[in-house]
Structure 1
Amino acid sequence: MGSADIVPGVSGGTIALITGIYEHLIGAISNIKFIWLKPLLHGDFHSFKTKLLEDIDFEFFIPLLLGIAIAFLSLAKVINFCLDVYTAYTFAFFLGLIIASAYILYTELDEVNIKSFIVVAIFTVLTFIFVGLNPIAANHSIPIIFISALIAICAMILPGISGSFVLLLLGQYQYMLTCLANLKIADIITFVLGAVIGLLGFSRVIKWLLEHYKAATISALIGIMLGTVRLPYVKMASSMAGTNIIAIIALVIIGFFVIYILEKKF
C-alpha cells in the first residue's frame, strides 16, 4: 500500500483490495470511537489502557503502518527511478495492475444487471474526466493544506483513486514532498490532522455503503478503476518513443497476472 500511495495514479486502496484486507481496513478504521478518551481525561489509566485496546485493532494497524512506512522509506527512490528512466515500461505495468484490479472487483459482484452497468458507466466517465484535469494553481496556506489532506486521504482508501494524484491536481504534491524533505513541522502536522479526520469520517461512509449498497458501491469502484486507466495509458503512450512495443504489452500482461495470482493466493 505504501509503494502504491507514493505514485500518482496508483491507489493503496487497490492493493488493500487485492490482498484481501480492504473490508478489514475499513472496518477497523470506522470502529474507532475514542471510548478511551473519557478515562484518560479522568486520569484512570487502567481503564484507559483497557478501552484503548478494545477500540483500536493494534494487531492489524501496527504491521500495516510499519509496512507502509518501510515502503515509503525504502521504495520511494526505486519507484521514482523507474518512473524517470523507464517511464513507459513502468506505466505499462501499472496499467496491467489496474485492469486486473477492476476485473477482481467484477468477480465480487453477486449479480450483474443493467443497474450495475449504468453505475459502472457513470463512474467510468466521471473518473476519466477527473484524471484528465490540469493541476490547480493553489496556494500553500494552512487551511488549503488541511483541506487537501482531507480530500486526498479519502481518495487514498478508495480502490482506483490515487491520493497522490489528487494532491497533484490540488497543486500540493510537490510542496508536501518538499515539506517532508525539509521537515516543515507546522505544515506536516496540519496535513496529518486533515488526513486523520478525513480517514475516520470517510471510512464510516464506505463501511455503510458496503453494508447497505454493496452491489452499487462495487460497481462504482469498478467504474472508478476503469476511468483511472486513462492516467497510466496517457503517461505510457507519451513516453513510448524508442521503447519495445512487445515489452510494453508483456508488462501489461505481467501486471495483470501479478494481481490475479495475488488475489488467488490471498
Structure 2
Amino acid sequence: MKSKKFSECLLLFFKGLAMGSADIIPGVSGGTIALITGIYERFVFALESINLHFLYYFLLGFKDKTNFKKAKKSFLSINFAFLIPLALGILGAFLTLANVIGFLLETVPTPTFSFFFGLIFASAFYVYYTHKELFTFSSLVFIGLGILVGYLIVGLESIQLSHSPIMIFASGIISFCAMILPGLSGAFILLVLGQYEFLLNVLRDLTHFEFGMIFFVFVYGLGGIIGLLGFSRVLSFLFSKYKPATVAFITGLMIGALRKPGMQIITHPDNMLLTIASLICGIFIVTLFSMFEWKKKQRIRVE
C-alpha cells in the first residue's frame, strides 16, 4: 500500500516537472500537459479545495477552543496528497530546467516549437476523442470562440512595462491564470507584459545560488497563488455546471494557440529534418500518454 502511494506521488512529481517545463516556454501551457496526463480536472478541483477558512477558525480558537477542531477539519479538507508532489515537480522544473529550456530556445528554437506544436495539436484531438459524448452541434460555437480567443491572444505584441513589485505581482496573477488554461501560455503572457526575460534571468540567477533578486520571486509567486486560487474556483464552477461548453472552449483554445509555434516554424524554417522529427515526437508522446490513460481506465473498470 505504501509503495503504491509512493509511486503515485512520484508520478505526480514527474507530471508536475513536465507542467513546469512547459510553462517556461512562451506559447506552451502547463494546463495542456495536465490535460494529456489525465489530471486536469483533478488539478482544478484540488486547487479549489485550498481555502483559508482554517486560519479564520484557528484565530477564533483562542476565544473558543471548539474552533480549533473546525480549523483542523478545514485544513485537512485541502487535497495535499495531490497538490504537494505536483507543486514540487513544477517548482523543480522552474529551478532546474530554466537554463535547459533557455538553451533550447536560443540554439534550436524552431525544432523546440515544432515539438510543442505536435504536442498541442495532438492534445486538442485527444480532448475531442476522450469527450466525444459531450460534443454536440452547439459545441461548434464554443470551439469557434475558443479558437478565436486563443488565436488573438497569442498574436498580441509585447509591451514594455516596468519591473516594479506591483507590476510583477499583477503579472503573477494574470500569467498563473493563463497557465492552468490548456492552450494559453503563462510564459507568453509574461512576454506580452514585458516581464518574461526579466523573470527568466531571476530564475537563472537562483540556479547559480545568486539571491539578490529573490524578492521578485516571492512577489511573483504571491500574485500567482492569488490568481490560481481565484481562477480555479471559476473553472471548477464551469466544469460542474457547463462541462460540455467548457471542454469545447478549451479544445478551441488549444487549436487557436497553435498560431504561436506555427508562426515560428513558418517564419524560421531551420533544420527541417529535426523540426519534422520533433513534431512527430510531440504527437507520439501525447499518443503514448493517451494509451496509458486508456489502459488505466480499463484496469479500474475491471477492478
TM-score by length of 2: 0.80
Alpha carbons 1:128, 1:230 under 8 Å: kept: yes
Q: 1:61 aligns with which of 71, 76, 83?
A: 83
Partner Cα separation in structure 2 for residue 63 and residue 146 of structure 1: 25
| Alignment TM-score, normalising by the size of structure 1 | 0.91
Q: Larger deviation: 186-195 or 160-169?
A: 186-195
2:99 to 43, 52, 77: 77
| Counterpart selection for 1:191 from 203, 211, 220 | 220
Measure, in 1, the Cα distance between the counterparts of 2:53 and 2:269: 54
1:155 is the counterpart of 2:156: no
Aligned partner of 1:239 among 268, 282, 295: 268
Q: Partner residue of 1:217?
A: 246
Cα deviation code 1:133-180 (max 9, x no counterpart): 110121222322222111111000011111111111111112223344
Q: Which residue number in structure 2 is paired with residue 169 of structure 1?
A: 192
| Mapped pair 1:31 → 2:49 | yes
Q: Which residue of 1 aligns with 2:168?
A: 145
Quick one: distance in 1 between partners of 2:45 and 2:230? Answer: 12
Task: State the partner residue of 1:91.
Answer: 113
The separation in 1 between residues aligned to 2:268 and 2:83, in whole angstroms, is: 38
Cα 1:126/1:38, change in 2 over 3 Å:
closer
Indicate the residue corresponding to 2:13 in structure 1.
none
Deviation sequence 1:30-60 (CA, Å, 0-9, x none): 1222232134323569648733642322211
In the TM superposition, structure 1's runs of 4+ consecutive aligned residues that sit over 6 Å from their partners are none
Distance 1:127 1:163 in 2: 13
Q: Which residue of 1 aligns with 2:145?
A: 122
Out of 269, 275, 280, the position equivalent to 1:248 is 275
1:73-108 CA-partner distances (Å, limit 9, x unpaired): 332222222222122211111110000110111122
Listed as ranges, the gaps of 5+ residues in structure 1 are none
Of structures 1 and 2, the one scoring higher in RCO (CA 8 A, sep 6+) is: 1
In 2 relative to 1, CA 247–142 (structure 1 residues): closer, same or farther, beyond 3 Å?
A: closer
SS in 2 for 1:27: helix
User: Is the CA contact 1:36–1:55 (under 8 Å) kept in the aligned structure 2?
Assistant: no
Q: State how far apart, in whole Å, the 1-side matches of 2:212 and 2:266 are.
A: 36
Shifted more, 138-147 versus 4-13: the winner is 138-147
Q: Is 1:263 the counterpart of 2:290 in the alignment?
A: yes
Residue identity (%):
42
Task: Report the RMSD for the aligned CA atoms in angstroms.
Answer: 2.1
2:157 to 134, 153, 168: 134
User: CA-to-partner distance for each residue in 1:184-219, whole Å, 9 max, x for gaps?
Assistant: 244333222211111111001001101111111111
Contact 1:155 1:162 in 2 (8 A): yes
